[in-house]
Amino acid sequence: MLHNLKYKGIKEVGFIVGELFGFELNESDYYKEIDFIIPVPLHKNKLKKRGYNQSEWIAKGLSKSMKVPVNKRSLYRKLDSETQTKKSRYNRWENVGEIFGVSDDSINGKRVLLVDDVVTTGATIEACAQVLIKHNCKVLVATIAYA
C-alpha cells in the first residue's frame, strides 16, 4: 500500500489509511487536544516532481477522523536533500540535520501531531521535531510504518 502511495501516484491510499488511523488515535487520551496536524514537508522541487506529498494525504485522512486542522504552511523544507532510501543511519541523520524551518509563529506553544509515512531511522522526524520544539511545541508523532 505504501509503495503505491509513495511511488505509484495513488494518493487516496494515504487519505484512507490516515482516516482509519485517526479513528484509532481518537481512542487514546494521549492524542487529545491536538492543535494542528503537520505533515513532514517535501521540498518544492520534489513536490513538483511527485505532484503531491504522501504525508500530507495521510494527514488529511487523520484530520477528517480526528477533527483537527492540517497545517502545511508553518513547517517547511529549506533544502532539497537527496533521497534517504539508500543511506546509512548516520548518513540519514547527517542529511537532514538543518534542512527544516518554521515560516510563522502560528504554531508557537501548540500541541502538534507530526506525520510521516515511513520512519526508518527517525532522522527526518527528529529534525522536524527539533525545529518545532524550538518554537515551544509539544510534538507527538504518527507514522503508518517503520522499517
Predicted model pTM? 0.87
Q: What is the pLDDT of residues 72-122, one digit of tens each?
A: 999 999 877 655 455 555 554 555 557 899 999 999 999 999 999 999 888
Instruction: Tell me what pLDDT residue 25 has.
Output: 97
Q: What is the CATH number of the domain that holds 41?
A: 3.40.50.2020
Residues whose CB is less than 8 angstroms from the CB of residue 131 and which lie 6 or more positions away in sequence, other chains included: 75, 100, 101, 102
Q: What is the pLDDT of residues 9-36, one digit of tens each?
A: 899 999 999 999 999 999 999 998 999 9
Number of independent structural domains in the chain: 1
Which has the closest alpha carbon to 99: 141, 143, 57, 41?
41
Mean pLDDT check: name the lowest of 44-48, 89-93, 127-131: 89-93
What residue numbers bound the domain in which 15 lies?
A: 2-146
